[in-house]
Structure 1
Amino acid sequence: MHTGHRHHRSDAPPAAMLASRGPVVMGWVLALLFAVCALGAQTTSDAQEEAGKKAAEPAQVTLVEGQVVNYVGAGELNVKITVALKNPDGSVGAVVAQSTSKELGDFVVTGPATIRGPAVVTLSKPGFTTATREVVIGGEEGVPFVDLEMQGNLPLAGKVLDGRDQEPVAGASVTAKAIYREWKATTAEDGTFTITGVPPGTAELIVEASGYGRESREVQQVENFGVITVTIKPERIIHVRTVDSAGKPVAATTVECLDPERQDYRSVVTDSEGKVTLRGIHYDAAELRVRLSHPDYVSSTQFDRLIQTSPESIETTETFVLDPAGRIVGNVLDAESRDGLAGARVSVGSDASDANPLDFSGLDGSYAIHGVPPGRVAVTVHRSGNAPDLQFVQVKTGEEAKLDITLRPPRAIKGVVVDAEGKPSPGAFVMTTDWREHETLGLRAMCDEQGRFELLDAPWDAFGLKAMAADRTEGEHTVPDDDVAEVRIVLKAAPVRADRSAVALKAGDAAPVFAFTTLQGVNLNLAELKGSYVLLDFWATWCGPCVQEVPHLLEVHKEFGQRKNFVMISASLDQSESDLRKFISARGMTWHHVFGEANGVQTAADAYGVVGIPALFLIGPDGKVVATHLRGGAIRKEVAAAMELTDPT
């Protein structure tokens, strides 16, 4: 008999145990299931809400794009661009989007697709005038494009004093010059001046006043420059007279005068008595270089005449004798139709230099070349779309020689440059050499990645070709006077010549001494440039890779060009001096430029072992090579690293 509470057996089945606990356990199970379902429902609801929000957000689109440049046409970095919609009343609302310009000055402003309608784009950067442009966003004409040149807004202030007594000079003309732009002011009674609208960067300050020599100063970082004081000295006066061999005056002679120490250039023309006076020459100018030109006389191709000033007198008189020349006139004609051909380049001389007398045929094909030296001369004609021709004519002093030249259709020479193993040589430089015992053909090409090249407007008779690769291997080939399917030039090790380095230049080597006469008539000699860093660039306007380096060179010149211990020289292998001048002028390339064999380019290229262009060398103050094979951003990097070791002035 048992007494007390009744107990379940411990080995009872689970179902029985669950049943014995009744509704309590079942309640917990139901609660747990409800919680799980509720959590799942909440998670699904949150995901749907987030997706709904994303679906409700408008897509990001391009609102405005464009490019901003500075006064030299180069892209301006870090210009702030903001976009604000216009209100219905025409006022400008809040900014709805913004961006900044990249290295090339390009920019893209993005924002929601809901932004539409008339808007105002504002472009701003310290040192420049803030500019605005009105556009329509989301219009039928597509994405607005804003193209703008930023205008400087910096002041350049100073004072001009007389160097003899330090008294102020009133009425002096003061010009701030940066590349090819100028900003002017005139000094007040107290000698002060303020030039406005100058952009950031470097500038040249030029001061001119009646009775004084022209004075110039370098201004670095206009944005951080204070007040400048310029002291000017009395002028030197140069009287020039041009006469013929009989002593008779030669009127209308162009007299170009250069003060090489100050790179002060001016050009004047003689009057009816063959006289002209140059004023404003710097008092300290001990020597001036002169170039004379006249259509009826043999003209100078270089600044090869000198004027020595006197320490005892501020006035100097110089007489120059001009030798009479002949003329060549004629027509450039189509060989089949006998019609006149316009735009042909007709030049006199034994090479393709633009320093030789030349002319371009007119619409009727006629040409007239003046200033031809007497004797038997070679006349070469080039024209796009025709084969060139070379003829000889006898020219007599003071007389006119007649020469008509007919041109045939051209032939195109295709070819490939390979190494000794028959592998293509990409980037090899191909140029024409001898043609009818002269070097006036002047055709050039560069090989593509497969080592292939093409010469257009080639002559039908035989001529020589020379190929040069970056590894200093060379190859030559004579193109025959019959039609050929393809020219094949095989490279081999270049022979060692007395005028050429036996091995490629490398850092630490002594840089070969060069002697150049620049397009501005300045004589440059490496021996005289010791103490300065020299960036020497062999290039040509027809060379695509060379042109790609121009923005990098502009950047280097903008940053370091005004440093007294830094010199930039571009030695051109172009055929046409006029084309070269147009190219460098249009792009604001204001450093030293050298052109033509007569001015030392090819001699220097040989000495430096140049077998392909572009070829850039950085030369140190000790006359030794600092770096070679410079391209792209490495140009500025090497120059900047070198300049960090020197006095920034």
Structure 2
Amino acid sequence: MKALAEGFEGVGVFSSNFPQAMRVKWRWTGVLVVLISLAFLLSVAKADQSATTQETKSTDQVAAEKPILRVQVLDKKTQKPLAGVNVEWRISCQPLGSQPTDADGKTDITLPAGPLNYLSIKAGKAGFVPIRVSWNKEELQKSFPKDYTFSLTPGTSIGGVIRNEKGEPIEGATIFILVPTSCSEKECIAISDYPVRTDAQGKWRCDILPAELDDIWLRLAHPDYVSDVSYGATPKPSMESLRDMTGVMVMKKGFTITGRVVDKAGKPIANAQVSQGSDRWGTHFPDTRTNAEGEFEFKNVGPDMRQNKLVLTVQAAGYAPDLKEINVDKDTKPVEFVLEPGRTIKGRIVDPDGKPVVGAFMSADTWRGHRSIEWRVNTDSEGRFCWKEAPADEVLFSMGKEGFMSIRRKALTPSDDEYILTLPLPLTIKGSVTDSKTGQPIDEFKVIQGIEWDSKQKH
């Protein structure tokens, strides 16, 4: 403003050398300049204030879109806060993050913006039984949790010894521990694939088990021995011997399986995936990749318990997969796979009105009687999927999306035509439960959903 005033005075002095009319004209010109400048400064200040307000508003909106859930963890026995508890959270079954509690046993979790379909939080600390709590979509929509308090119970111990067939202790073996789901209201014991390792004497110990423990599942792994591909593969000791830490489990040596993957011209295929196992869903069969010469090797291999043979499946970019069943013993010869060019299976997933279902999953399930092939995609904006590395023969597929009924074991083969697959809407089942003797309705009961895979096996 001072500069503008000086400029105005300068105009007046300068105009004194001019006639009276010109001096008046220059004075009014100076006034006009000052007024325009003031208007400009006011508009800039208003714009700055508006931008600041807008910036603050945007920050508030972002904060509102990302809810914060405050977690506190207490020692159930003493009711004192527990520091250093690892708090993990999952969204729609996908791990999202973890962080420890502070000296007051508290930690704040910042969750993603937007509606959530599923949220689970796990709290665990050495020497305490880990607990998980979860909310489904309906519960989150009805009342989104702003805080939650865990009360962790001090754990009890189990243990044992891992030895080889000669009775020698095995150092560095990993024992994975799983406690069958045990829930009380919303909270469940969260011990799944929990690892502990053996010491130089082959001894192991775990101190996070609940006091009341009817059953436990164990899985063993070591690079120099046949590792368990599923829980229960190695016979476990009695619960009493696990409690007094005298139970012994034995790991065996396996065989070495080698092989080579080539194309139709006999050229090696590098980086092909070679996988063990007849059923890789929910199991721990190993896999490996071929080297530049197309060669692969597995050490300490044992037969698949359910097949009495070893199933090897090969998949490589640009090629159709291949599968072989082999005997596993000291006389097993190198296995050669010759891959054919990939075939194409393509299609669209639509709803009952024929509209595309975006983001539906489409996955290969069973091929040649085995669940060993790996391929899964989500449909695009037009509901389309395309697999250009499919085998020439039939594959059974699974597909689905939340809000629809899933389709399982849908048989498809390569074709130039596009498959149109319709996902049905979910069914609503209603019913009542009565007392078989009196015929009176039972007010409180629980309905358990299940799947009948075949006439002999139900889940």
Question: Shorter chain as normaliser: what TM range?
Answer: 0.5 to 0.7
- Quickly say closer, same or farther: Cα 1:183–1:396, change in 2 above 3 A: same
Task: Output the CA distance in 2 between the equivalents of 1:451 and 1:400.
Answer: 46
SS of the aligned residue for 2:428 comes to: coil
Counterparts of 1:237 and 1:287, CA distance in 2: 12
Q: Which amino acid aligns with 1:183?
A: P
Residue 381 (structure 1) shift = 0.7
Distance 1:126 1:63, change over 3 A: farther
* Corresponding residue number in structure 1 for 2:128: 214
Give the RMSD, CA atoms, in angstroms. 5.7
Query: For the residues of structure 2 that align with 1:440 and 1:100, how far apart are their CA atoms?
Result: 49
Structure 1 CA distance for aligned equivalents of residues 67 and 365 of structure 2: 54
Distance 2:232 2:355 in 1: 41
Indicate whether 1:183 and 2:103 are aligned: no
Q: How does 1:114-133 map to 2 (within 5 A)?
A: none
Looking at structure 2, the residues matched to 476 and 314 of structure 1 have their Cα atoms a distance apart, in angstroms, of 47
CA gap 1:437/1:315 in 2 versus in 1, 3 angstroms: closer
Distance 2:170 2:298 in 1: 19
Cα distance 1:160–1:297, how it changes in 2: closer, same or farther (>3 A)?
same
1:385 aligns with 2:285: no
Offset of residue 101 of structure 1: 4.8
Helix, strand or coil at the partner of 1:508: coil
What is the alpha-carbon distance in structure 2 between the residues aligned to residue 222 and residue 504 of structure 1?
28
Residue matched to 2:302: 373
Q: By how many angstroms is 1:396 displaced? A: 0.6
Q: In 2 relative to 1, CA 219–326 (structure 1 residues): closer, same or farther, beyond 3 Å?
A: closer
Match of 1:90 in 2: none
- What does residue 100 of structure 1 align with? 58
Deviation at 1:239, TM superposition (A): 2.3
How far apart in 2 are the matches of 1:249 and 1:467? 45
Matches within 5 A, 1:378-527: 378-396=311-329, 401-415=333-347, 426-427=356-357, 435-436=367-368, 438-443=370-375, 453-459=385-391, 461-464=392-395, 479=413, 485-486=416-417, 505-508=427-430
Residue 341 (structure 1) shift: 1.1
Distance 1:283 1:306 in 2: 19
Task: Kindly indicate whether residue 230 of structure 2 is the aligned counterpart of residue 297 of structure 1.
Answer: no
Deviations 1:236-277 (A, max 9, x none): 342233443x64544443211234443235312234543323
* Aligned with 1:329 (options 258, 264, 272): 258
- 1:477 Cα deviation (Å)? 6.1
Alpha-carbon deviations, 1:550-602, whole Å to 9, x = none? xxxxxxxxxxxxxxxxxxxxxxxxxxxxxxxxxxxxxxxxxxxxxxxxxx989
Provide the aligned length of Structure 1 versus Structure 2: 365
SS in 2 for 1:100: helix
The 3 A distance-change label for structure 1 pair 373 and 241 is closer
Structure 1's unaligned 5+ residue stretches are: 1-52, 65-81, 84-94, 108-124, 128-151, 186-192, 494-502, 511-529, 537-599, 609-649
Cross-structure match for 2:173: 253
For 1:254, the aligned partner's letter is T
Query: What do residues 66-109 of structure 1 show as CA deviations (whole Å, max 9, x unaligned)?
Result: xxxxxxxxxxxxxxxx94xxxxxxxxxxx7852135877699xx
- Do the aligned partners of residues 269 and 367 (structure 1) sit closer, same or farther apart at CA in structure 2, a change above 3 Å counting? farther
Does the CA-based 8 Å contact 1:203-1:222 persist in structure 2? no
The residue aligned with 2:191 is 264
Relative distance call for 1:105 and 1:63 in structure 2 (3 A) is farther
- Structure-1 separation of matches of 2:58 and 2:169: 63
For 1:454 and 1:332, the matched residues in 2 are separated by 25
Give distance in 2, aligned partners of 1:206 and 1:63.
Answer: 48
Which AA in structure 2 matches 1:508?
Answer: K
Partner of 1:338: 267
What is the TM-score when the length of structure 2 is the normalising length?
0.57
Q: How does 1:156-235 map to 2 (within 5 A)?
A: 156=72, 174-179=84-89, 180-184=97-101, 193-195=103-105, 198-199=108-109, 205-208=123-126, 213-216=127-130, 232=154, 235=156
* Structure 2 unmatched runs, 5+: 1-38, 90-96, 112-119, 135-143, 183-188, 433-443
Give the match's secondary structure for 2:387.
strand
Q: CA deviation at 1:299?
A: 1.2
Q: What is the percent sequence identity of the aligned residues?
A: 20
Scaled by the length of structure 1, the TM-score of the pair is 0.43
Q: Deviations over 1:157-177 (max 9, x none)?
A: 866857xxx9x99xx864151
CA contact (8 A) 1:382 1:389 kept: yes
Letter of the structure 1 residue corresponding to residue 416 of structure 2: A
SS in 2 for 1:378: strand
Q: Could you tell me how far 1:62 is from its partner in structure 2?
A: 11
Contact 1:240/1:277, CA 8 A, preserved across alignment: no
1:314 to partner: Cα distance:
5.8
Whether the 8 Å contact between 1:345 and 1:358 is mirrored in structure 2 is: no
Q: Whole-Å Cα distance in 2 between the matches of residues 473 and 155 of structure 1?
A: 39
Shift in Å, 1:406: 3.8
Q: Which has the higher strand share?
A: 1
| CA distance 1:315–1:184, change in 2 (3 Å) | farther
Partner SS, residue 99 of structure 1: helix
For 1:275, the equivalent position in structure 2 comes to 203
Distance 1:468-1:325 versus aligned 2 partners, 3 A rule: same
Taking the aligned partners of 1:433 and 1:207, their CA distance within structure 2 comes to: 38
SS at match of 1:395: coil
Alignment partners' CA distance in 2, 1:218 and 1:449: 36
Deviation per residue, 1:478-530 (Å, 9 max, x gap): 637xxx5325579899xxxxxxxxx96414369xxxxxxxxxxxxxxxxxxx9
Tell me if structure 2 keeps the 8 A contact 1:386–1:409.
Answer: yes
Distance 2:153 2:398 in 1: 55
Query: How far did 1:380 drift?
Result: 1.0
Q: Is the 8 A contact 1:327 1:368 kept in 2?
A: yes
Contact 2:397–2:408 (8 Å) recurs in 1 = yes
In structure 1, what is the Cα distance between the partners aligned to 2:252 and 2:57?
A: 65
Structure 1 residue 379: Cα displacement: 1.4
CA distance in 2, matches of 1:318, 1:195: 36
